[in-house]
Amino acid sequence: MGKRVVELTRTTKETDINCRLNLDGSGVADVDTGIGFFDHMLTTLAKHARFDLRLSCKGDLSVDDHHSVEDCALLIGNCLDDALGEREGIARFGCAHVPLDEALCRAVVDLSGRPYPVVDLSLTRERLGGLSCENIPHFFESVAIAGRMALHVDVLKGRNDHHRSEASFKAVAVALRQAVARDGGSSVPSTKGKLG
């Protein structure tokens, strides 16, 4: 099987983003979005998924953080989708429970080719650093749509929103690592003969 490395750009009137994603990396991240907490979460995602991720974003942060977060998510999802190709020989499914101190998150992914995000983080703060808490579930929803996957993310326990958020990124990362893994087969993991 070939290398699963994709580099894409997205340029709009709101953002200018470059993303390089290697699904078979070692977890090295070089991320600069201008939003410190978001950079921390994307670095965490790459580390625990064992993806190599290089992402730079120049966004209209003078407006707010929404466009930058959404467009980064869409581009990461596009890279993931392109890197998977026809999705032959992958495990397809992944599931993880990840704790961070008092917080516990469950993430379940199906690289089905059919996008369906269901995200419940129950965050209570307005912001974590420069990142609006409402944009954290929106990030996962946008990645799922652009990456053409079913993604369920639920924070099961926790009081600290930093812990709840970080546990969610780690859980999604571990579930993705399982789902993209090459399982030794060469066919598409579906009784239909194709995913999507």
User: Would you call 77 helix, strand, or coil by DSSP?
Assistant: helix
Q: pLDDT 10s per residue in the chain (196 long)?
A: 579 999 999 999 999 999 999 999 999 999 999 999 999 999 999 999 999 999 999 999 999 999 999 999 999 999 999 999 999 999 999 999 999 999 999 999 999 999 999 999 999 999 999 999 999 999 999 999 999 999 999 999 999 999 999 999 999 999 999 999 998 676 666 656 666 6
**What pLDDT sits at residue 184?**
67
Tokens of 194: 């194709």
| 186 phi and psi angles, rounded to 5 deg | -125, -5
Tokens of 49: 């998924």
User: Would you call 162 helix, strand, or coil by DSSP?
Assistant: helix
The closest of 126, 103, 38 to 76, measured between CA atoms, is 38
**What pLDDT sits at residue 2?**
76
Architecture of domain 5-180: 2-Layer Sandwich (3.30)
**What pLDDT sits at residue 190?**
62
Residue with tokens 């467009």: 71
**What pLDDT sits at residue 194?**
67
**What pLDDT sits at residue 183?**
83
**What pLDDT sits at residue 10?**
97
